Structure 1
Amino acid sequence: MSGETYVTIIGKVHEDPGLKFNDGGGAVARLVVVTNPRKFNRQTNEWENKPGKFWDCRAWNQGKMLLAENVANHLKKGDNVILYGEIETNAWEDSEGKKRRSDQLRIESIGKDFRWHQAPANDVPAAAADQGWGGGDPAATGQGGWGNPGGQTY
């Protein structure tokens, strides 16, 4: 569809994500991500923090994709994240009859920003030096490096 506005945000989780299930069993995670832009001031030769922007975000489960549950189970307040999502505008009328609007992000993809997080040592075992990327000796499997048949190199 045309007309959607997608953005990539790099920021910090402002509060622990919350998880709710609707009547049909679908899950949604709510979280707030804050971005703190910094600008370099050439006159003072220093970095200056600009006012932060708070992004109201939602992650939904879709079929076998458990995005909402993964967000709620793996992210916490203070985590640095990179997310990609669509800006959605909600419109409603408040109790006084005033028309109101707010923007939120529908998260398509999100993950920790590993520039700032250290993965646990037991999270992913390091490949042995003699196994390379493919795991095992390419000559023994009849595969050249990177899946080339017969050990051909280019």
Structure 2
Amino acid sequence: MYETYTTVIGTVVSDPRHRQTTTGEAVISFRVACNSRRIDKRTQEWIDGPTLYLTVSCWRRLLTGVSQAVAKGRPVIAHGQIKTNEYVTADGERRADLEMTATAVGLDLSRCVVSFHGAPGQEPSTDDTAPRQVATAADGAAPDAETRRAA
């Protein structure tokens, strides 16, 4: 009833993990680190703020695009429903983790260059009813510290 939707901008910090649920539904999950940056007026250097880590889970229509475009070290933008998962570890310690069920995931074009590849035999389309197109990073390198932006 009171779902919380948000958008995060960050860097993928784990290899995407493909798995199937007990009901056979496919899902891809990966971890994202998001941090703010600010300029220190005294030293004129960039300083990283606290880092937010969350797991992004992708289902259904996102599977093909995410599996081809998202990789460890790549800058991403993800939008979806966010929630807290609470659990108990094997040694009895209580923990909590943030998880986003994504409705949209893309590469952050302010921090990387991509090469667009549509489905074979299709022209790129702006029609929202057309099948989704896939973008892949031109290189797998993570952006250097100078090109990182505030998340």
Within 1, Cα distance between the matches of 2:50 and 2:43?
Answer: 19
> 1:43 and 2:66 equivalent?
no
* 1:73 maps to amino acid: Q
Pairs within 5 Å for 1:27-42 = 27-42=26-41
Within 1, Cα distance between the matches of 2:51 and 2:89?
Answer: 27
Identity of counterpart residues, as a percentage?
A: 29
> 1:18 and 2:17 equivalent?
yes
- 1:97/1:46 CA distance change after superposition, 3 Å: closer
CA deviations on 1:53-84 (whole Å, 9 max, x unpaired) are 222221122xxx2x134322321111111111
Within 2, Cα distance between the matches of 1:96 and 1:119?
Answer: 44
- 1:90/1:11 CA distance change after superposition, 3 Å: same
1:73 corresponds to which of 68, 71, 89: 68
Equivalent residue, structure 1, for 2:148: none
Structure with bigger RCO (C-alpha 8 Å, 6+ apart): 2
Equivalent residue, structure 2, for 1:57: 56
Shift of 1:101: 2.9
3-state SS, counterpart of residue 6 of structure 1: strand
Within 2, Cα distance between the matches of 1:91 and 1:51?
Answer: 21
Contact 2:30 2:56 in 1 (8 A): yes
3-state SS, counterpart of residue 28 of structure 2: strand
TM-score in terms of structure 2 length? 0.66
- 1:73/1:21 CA distance change after superposition, 3 Å: farther
The count of aligned residue pairs is 120
Considering only aligned residues, what root-mean-square deviation do their CA atoms show, in Å?
2.5
Pairs within 5 Å for 1:4-153 = 4-61=3-60, 65=61, 67-95=62-90, 99-120=94-115, 123=117
Q: Please list every run of 5 or more consecutive structure 2 residues that lacks an aligned counterpart in the other structure.
A: 119-125, 127-151
**Greater helix share, structure number:** 1
TM-score in terms of structure 1 length? 0.65
- 1:7/1:98 CA distance change after superposition, 3 Å: same
Contact 1:19 1:68 in 2 (8 A): no
CA deviations on 1:72-131 (whole Å, 9 max, x unpaired) are 2321111111111211122334445554432211111110111222233x747xxxxxxx
Contact 2:58 2:102 in 1 (8 A): yes
Within 2, Cα distance between the matches of 1:96 and 1:5?
Answer: 31
